[in-house]
Structure 1
């Protein structure tokens, strides 16, 4: 099973910036999204188990956003990676550019309107096995730039998602469901997280749309 590290992320950024989704043609996407057949094989290999320890979750146990390069933290790095014509200040804050959210197809020109979504929510990861990780591993997960875990999306859409898994929430743009499921499965597989039965059923249904 592949193990993703923050150190590997820097080399992935240039390649990631050129990647386009097939369902939201103007949205740039993270690296490492597998094919539908690979995602189906990964889903079959993921352990199915009930979620655990939900009442002990604390977002502070997943330190983010961390410094990636110079003055740029993870959020700022994703904004640069997944935006177009992004201009930044000396402190790496995005002062102009445009971002198209693959979740709903909306385009924004103010970075304040864009959230960086953890595709597999941090609370969901906790309930699916991250409760047993070290803090350093949780930090690596929360700042994972090497895989398809971090997405630049419309802020209120991300807030509506909250910590829900695909059994409880799916992107408003149904044409994106195939890509969403492929990426979500890959993150869970790569990080050795479990899925519950309803989550697996929802993911299978989304992959059937591919």
Structure 2
């Protein structure tokens, strides 16, 4: 169970971020740096023992990310829930624009289950909660619910890349950035895909 201190810290951060965070997805490392970081990652087969448990990653930041990623977003000052705004999913091709926040999901660029099988299963709950709610790294982004469901909780870069070709470079750079920051592993097929896509950046 997460410590009382961490839970309090996360609550305070959410309340502050409702009014202060007004930015896009944090910029990932550039392609040259991503290739360097990729070479430093440990290549190892995924392991789902013990079995993935979503509850061990805590709750989500949906209202904060919707506020950050939208345009002209107005929020309820008490709940931080978006009242109105415009969102464009960076994954979709053709472009998917909506004024309805219920049509959006918050995607973890590196999915929680992918993180679990590549090392997060060995973390304590506090570290998993920090990972799942990381607004400093390029890990959380508002996307169309259809693309988020297509990607799923496990898909790594061998199973899913954004249909919008112009965003793929950003996506794989973000993937390497996050995995390297948290010391997560990659499997051999994942490494090959990342090398291929980063070479195109």
Distance in 2 (alpha carbons) for counterparts of 1:148 and 1:54: 27
Q: CA deviation at 1:46?
A: 0.4
Partner of 1:69: none
Asked whether 1:208 is paired with 2:199, we answer yes
The unaligned stretches of length 5 or more in structure 2 are: 1-8
Q: CA deviation at 1:32?
A: 4.0
Asked whether 1:111 is paired with 2:105, we answer no
TM-score, normalisation: structure 2: 0.86
Distance in 1 (alpha carbons) for counterparts of 2:22 and 2:74: 18
RMSD value, Cα: 2.2
1:189 to 180, 184, 190: 180
Partner of 1:45: 40
The unaligned stretches of length 5 or more in structure 1 are: 18-28, 66-73
Moved over 6 A (4+): 5-11
1:1-210 mapped onto 2 (5 Å cutoff): 17=23, 29-53=24-48, 56-65=51-60, 74-89=61-76, 90-104=78-92, 105-162=95-152, 163-210=154-201
Number of equivalences:
186
Deviations 1:154-184 (A, max 9, x none): 1110000002000111111112111100001
Q: 1:52·1:128 contact (CA, 8 Å) conserved in 2?
A: yes
Structure holding more helix per residue: 2
Distance in 1 (alpha carbons) for counterparts of 2:162 and 2:22: 21
TM-score, normalisation: structure 1: 0.82
Structure 1 48/116 Cα, relative in aligned 2: closer, same or farther at 3 Å?
Answer: same
